[in-house]
Amino acid sequence: MLRRAITLLLWRTLALLMLLLGLIGIVVPGLPTVPFLLVAAWAGGMGWPQLERWLLEHPKHGPAIRRWRDHRAVPRRAKWMATAMMCASTALIALTPAPLHAKIGVPALMAVVAVWLWTRPEV
């Protein structure tokens, strides 16, 4: 019984944390919203069905969450925006005094993410 309560509390905490980060992403340029809401809906489904339902029925973000769940799809506009942000981040890191391994490793990781992102369907 205690184990179940702790597990439920952890899922709800994760859901709330991701929801909070998603809300911050609405007002902070460059911080994504939908990926955090995807995780919030997933964690909500594990321990807070009301929150999951609310996110899935949300008029603005619900369709993106459902599109990801149903088809693992990412809209073309989101792909372009993410790619542009990764390119801007690469330019910024190149201009900093970061170590060489960071100047190579971070853009390489972002390139892998970009390739993965562009292989997702656009339903």
pLDDT tier for residue 42 given thresholds of 50, 70 and 90: very high
Using DSSP, state whether 37 is helix, strand or coil.
helix
pLDDT tier for residue 16 given thresholds of 50, 70 and 90: very high
| Terminal-to-terminal C-alpha distance of the chain | 42
Tens-digit pLDDT profile for residues 1-10:
899 999 999 9
Average pLDDT of the residues of the chain: 94
**pLDDT value at 27 more than 80:** yes
**pLDDT value at 51 more than 80:** yes
- Whose CA is closest to 51, among 37, 31, 63? 37
